[in-house]
A and B are shown apart, each in its own frame.
Chain A
Amino acid sequence: GAVVSQHPSWVICKSGTSVKIECRSLDFQATTMFWYRQFPKQSLMLMATSNEGSKATYEQGVEKDKFLINHASLTLSTLTVTSAHPEDSSFYICSARRTELIEETQYFGPGTRLLVL
């Protein structure tokens, strides 16, 4: 199956610092990638859609200046949490859309757990 990786798998940082999370599609190219956030005991919430070579599309209520997304290649998207605060502590998960013939499937990374102190 298609493989999506994320790095780092977990990170602890001080309040006010920035954290970058990488999402890579290892065995396929992905024009479109997605970033989700999941708080404890809640379902995944879509934050933004990342399109290669263009600006990301953010969901309502997600601050684009705080969550910077870059999708510079067909296999890499990055999410930077700028000036992180404790309320940004969460499980961040990316996915990449793979297209095969006329069907599309999203494959997810293993997630990155962020703890802001």
Chain B
Amino acid sequence: DAKTTQPTSMDCAEGRAANLPCNHSTISGNEYVYWYRQIHSQGPQYIIHGLKNNETNEMASLIITEDRKSSTLILPHATLRDTAVYYCIPISNFGNEKLTFGTGTRLTIIP
């Protein structure tokens, strides 16, 4: 069974906020939620991660539900350079777990 469920694809208008949902209903108590993105023909880029509190950095905001079964990545003002495949990955720290990539969400920013 997949650990996460994400929409296959989404479109967002340039300049608007892009909200990318992720369902991780089987997440363990010690697992963080990490978000990465992969722009075409590049290596994945780390975006943000969180455990249970909402997080914000210069790239994005991460909203995690209180029961931790789902989260939303928010790109506040999407630009064309944000077009990429976005991956939500639950993983524990210090458990020798390996980062496993699913199919992610293909986000297309429309001019």
Contacts and interface: CB of A to CB of B under 8 A. Distances in A.
Contacts, number: 49
B98 A95 contact: no
A103 interface: yes
B98 A46 contact: yes
Contact of A93 (B44, B49, B103): B44
Nearest to A102: B93
B42 A111 contact: yes
Interface residues of B, number: 20
B51 to A, nearest CB: 9
Given A103-B93, A111-B41, A44 B101 contact: yes
A36 to B, nearest CB: 8
B43 A105 contact: no
Contacts of A45: 101
A105 B41 contact: no
Interface residues of A, number: 24
Interface string B10-44: 00000000000000000000001010101001111
B9 interface: no
Interface string A102-116: 111111111101000
Contacts of A61: none
Nearest to A1: B46
6 contacts: A43-B101, A44-B44, A103-B49, A103-B93, A104-B94, A106-B99
Interface of B: 32, 34, 36, 38, 41-46, 49, 93-94, 98-104
Given A4-B43, A107-B46, A108-B43, 18 more contacts: A1-B46, A34-B98, A43-B103, A46-B98, A46-B99, A46-B100, A93-B43, A95-B43, A95-B99, A102-B93, A102-B94, A103-B49, A104-B94, A108-B44, A110-B42, A110-B43, A111-B41, A111-B43
